[in-house]
Structure 1
């Protein structure tokens, strides 16, 4: 099958959506499908091996983050590419984000599928203000996927319809496999890992506050902070502290070594999380997890079964949960085992199989409609 995967986001900058697209495409290629990725890129030369670059991005606020999206008009180039590619499926991620998805939908003759990733409790201003304008693009979608109930509710609030719930996938084997721990963390400290961008909604300040409490109870503890972007602001707040370690822009291939160097994982996000990919990756690495009890995480974790949930923005509760793990080895082992089993359901092999089945269903339905239309035309001529 010839499939185009479309991202509205800067392909040169790592993001959850771009990783989703890249790994979904890799799984499809492994099964023998022909995959083309379309996306804007701030570093076109560096991105050429991965995708067909369509425009340069600009940073705009979106769901508590800064999204780098394209406002470049590339209508003729897109029309030409879609025509030459003869794609059977065009799969757009965040299909209502400007501007690249609109242009693709305008020219696509394929089965158009849209995946909605974002979740935001307060609604979406773009959808609210632009609904009359972008409704036409929504109607161009033959199939719609939401990665979680929270994502489905957000878009459904403005554009009602059926959304097939298919979650984000993770590279389960990458995190569950054997990895050598980092020697710098191989001592008698209890290592707590945080993975996430330095954005307010990721809740790093609550991890730091909780860690202060943890250190008071257990001085031989260490917080390891890993993520894309600069942590300088947080480093200034913390000051010199050898037991709080910041690591920026760790290569994806090296990331599991941090998981395998830790004893527990903490994700105190405050909201607007659709599912929690970093959480699932930690669970795949057999780390017991402590996370905020927000919708996107509660859909992945069952409290006291495969992880511990704490009230959001409550550093005392987060610290108490981490200390439970510190002192109760049996609990750590039980949560780690159940967590890894839960994470295995989100492997790309499982998730991509569901996406492919949806493609096939939509293609079949289009064929049925075309056949019915052809029959009707024959009857009319007769």
Structure 2
């Protein structure tokens, strides 16, 4: 098959959808298909060579408590039409298919079999169901989608409110060669303290505010604990650092800033406990899989996107979202109970095997064939 994977977000900037598309492209290529990635990019994308087709220059757009880097150009039509005429794709697989401008425009002009993967689970009020387009345009675009994938039940439940269709749930995947327990921890934090590690952007919806409040309580009862906050973000960081200074916790709370993808597994390996206190708007929670892949116990908010991946007292503990007291209680329980930490970590290593990228890609490949058959289109080329 000749397949286009279309991502609406800046492909030169790290993010969940871009990482998903990149991994899926590599796996589908390994399965014998001819794959192109189409996305806007703010800089060079050299990893994929001529398999990457840049369309559009992204701009930051505040959306759903985060910042989406999407192309806002309305002059993409000629480039899109020329690309589609040249490549003649069998499958066009759009990730967030109604997101402006690229995905929505690709769907408009495509005469291929069109499949959408829906990643989001919630939207901030004021944004039309995560897609800032009119209801009329949504209805027009929705009629051109032949297949619908959701990454989780949470994503399906959310999107099915606006696009009535039969959804197939195919989760995100994880690279277990990259995230594996054989990596070395960050040596500067291996001093006998119990390390609690948060990984994520410093955005309000990620719940760092509640984690800092919870850590004040944890550290009071267990002074030999440290909190590592791993991830990019500049707007809220001064506020969080001020909270740390006021609590006199500068020696035991570290903000690493953004770290390289190569080093990320080492930070997970450094953790005794991983913490994911998001307040909502998480459809899946790839950070949970990354922690499981390193055999780490997790304390996470009991929100639908996380509860679909992690079971309470299975791979970790689920606690009330936006509740520092409950979060502190869950963390303290694991600090006290090393045997429980080890038990949860072992189960995580088992569970994460269900999410390997080779398994996920084969499910996507099978779904492509199912949709092509439903549309009465024979598979062309590839395996």
Q: TM-score, normalised by structure 2?
A: 0.92
In the TM superposition, residue 36 of structure 1 has moved relative to its aligned partner by: 0.8
For these two proteins, the number of residue pairs brought into alignment is: 370
Residue in structure 2 matched with residue 219 of structure 1 by the alignment: 223
Pairing 1:291–2:295 present: no
Residue in structure 2 matched with residue 51 of structure 1 by the alignment: 52
Deviates more, 1:129-138 or 1:90-99: 129-138
Pairing 1:60–2:61 present: yes
Extract unaligned runs of 5+ from structure 2: none
In the TM superposition, residue 48 of structure 1 has moved relative to its aligned partner by: 7.8
Residue in structure 2 matched with residue 178 of structure 1 by the alignment: 182
Choose which of 181, 198, 203 in structure 1 pairs with 2:202. 198
Structure number with larger C-alpha Rg: 1
Cα distance change, pair 364–129 in 1 and its aligned pair in 2 (3 A): closer
Residue in structure 2 matched with residue 100 of structure 1 by the alignment: 102
Aligned-partner SS, 1:246: strand
Aligned-partner SS, 1:304: coil
In the TM superposition, residue 295 of structure 1 has moved relative to its aligned partner by: 0.9
Q: Distance in 2 between matches of 1:289 and 1:315?
A: 16
The question of whether the paired residues in 1 share the 8 Å contact of 2:11 and 2:40 is answered with yes
Residue in structure 2 matched with residue 117 of structure 1 by the alignment: 119
Residue in structure 2 matched with residue 29 of structure 1 by the alignment: 29
Residue in structure 2 matched with residue 4 of structure 1 by the alignment: 4
Deviates more, 1:243-252 or 1:56-65: 56-65
Q: Aligned-pair RMSD on alpha carbons?
A: 2.0
Choose which of 231, 236, 242 in structure 1 pairs with 2:242. 236
Aligned-partner SS, 2:177: helix
Residue in structure 2 matched with residue 74 of structure 1 by the alignment: 76
The question of whether the paired residues in 1 share the 8 Å contact of 2:277 and 2:321 is answered with yes
Please give the per-residue CA displacement for 1:304-329, whole angstroms capped at 9, x wherever unaligned. Answer: 12210111111121111112111212
Instruction: Tell me: higher relative CO, structure 1 or 2? Use CA pairs within 8 A at least 6 residues apart.
Output: 2
Residue in structure 2 matched with residue 88 of structure 1 by the alignment: 90
Pairing 1:254–2:260 present: no
* Structure 1 or 2: more helix by fraction: 1
Aligned-partner SS, 1:113: strand
Cα distance change, pair 10–369 in 1 and its aligned pair in 2 (3 A): closer
The question of whether the paired residues in 2 share the 8 Å contact of 1:123 and 1:154 is answered with no
